[in-house]
């Protein structure tokens, strides 16, 4: 039995042409392979070539263009991307408040030792009154007397007491930031720098964290990003300068 090559059906069972409705959008402008417009029938329809329709008369449609080719032409331009929603400001605000409190604490505990390390101090002698605990938990109190005997400080906290020198009545060379200071420092050498350097390093780390977690480093535009980072770092710097001025 001879088979029609297009549809796979027997030749006798498939007509050569199939009527198509006149109002179909496909047939508008449709022409035969030889260039002639198909003639209308009495019932308002026309016969399309069998190569252009399916067995039920529906037109053969071309396969859609691949996804990569749809945006190449004017008719296949991609839809504009949706705008990114603004970020939630609460995490950045919480990080700003928390890190500012950490900056305030470490700037406060590092201000006095910093001035002592750079030479702004009153040199004198402290007499141990009593000590409790040992090692890092040691707490000592004493009376500080300046070398020029301009002032005395009673009941000040004594920091850096050497081992075996914590007996009440022991006199140690010490320094204080001023008459209003609450701590006399008896440590010398490198130990005096270890009391302020870690604290100020923590302050610098908090400043970098504020710039990072508030989104200042991710702003579009170099100029805007530069001003935002400057403002984020200026906060910890001003807090530290305020405590340094108070400890002077």
Instruction: Kindly report the pTM of this predicted structure.
Output: 0.57
Give the pLDDT of residue 17.
Answer: 53
CA distance 128 to 178: 19
Please indicate, yes or no, whether residues 108 and 54 belong to a single structural domain of this protein.
Answer: no
- Supply the pLDDT for residue 116: 84
Domain with 32 in it: 1-60
Residue 57 has pLDDT above 60, yes or no: yes
If asked whether residues 113 and 213 sit together in one domain, one would say yes
**How high does pLDDT run on average in the chain?**
77
For residues 173 and 153, give the distance between their C-alpha atoms in angstroms, rounded to a whole number.
Answer: 14
Q: Are residues 96 and 172 in the same domain?
A: yes
Q: Which residues 6+ apart lie within 8 Å of 188 measured at CB?
A: 160, 173
Predicted pLDDT at 63: 58
Same domain flag for 137 and 226: yes
Residue pLDDT, tens place only, 200-216: 999 999 999 999 998 88
Q: Is residue 76 part of a domain?
A: no
Residue 77 falls inside a structural domain = no
Task: Say whether both 108 and 219 belong to one domain.
Answer: yes
- Based on the fold, state whether residues 106 and 196 are members of the same structural domain: yes
Q: Indicate if 103 and 225 belong to the same structural domain.
A: yes
Q: Which of 60-64, 87-91, 154-158, 197-201 has the lowest mean pLDDT?
A: 60-64
């Amino acid at each position: 039995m001879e088979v029609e090559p297009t549809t796979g059906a027997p030749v006798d069972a498939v007509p050569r042409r199939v009527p198509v409705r006149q109002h179909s959008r496909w047939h508008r402008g449709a022409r035969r392979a030889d260039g002639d417009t198909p003639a209308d029938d009495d019932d308002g329809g026309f016969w399309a070539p069998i190569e252009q329709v399916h067995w039920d008369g529906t037109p053969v449609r071309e396969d859609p263009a691949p996804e990569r080719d749809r945006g190449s032409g004017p008719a296949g331009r991609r839809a504009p991307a949706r705008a990114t929603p603004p970020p939630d400001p609460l995490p950045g605000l919480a990080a700003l408040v928390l890190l500012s409190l950490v900056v305030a604490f470490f700037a406060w505990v590092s201000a006095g030792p910093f001035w002592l390390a750079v030479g702004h101090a009153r040199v004198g002698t402290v007499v141990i009154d009593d000590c409790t605990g040992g090692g890092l938990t040691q707490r000592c109190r004493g009376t500080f007397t300046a070398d020029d005997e301009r002032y005395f400080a009673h009941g000040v906290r004594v920091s850096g007491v050497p081992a075996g020198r914590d007996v009440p009545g022991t006199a140690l060379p010490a320094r204080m930031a001023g008459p209003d200071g609450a701590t006399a420092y008896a440590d010398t050498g490198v130990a005096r720098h270890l009391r302020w350097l870690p604290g100020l390093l923590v302050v610098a780390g908090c400043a970098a964290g504020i710039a990072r977690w508030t989104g200042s480093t991710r702003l579009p535009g170099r100029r805007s990003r530069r001003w935002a980072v400057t403002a984020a770092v200026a906060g910890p710097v001003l807090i530290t300068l305020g405590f340094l001025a108070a400890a002077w």
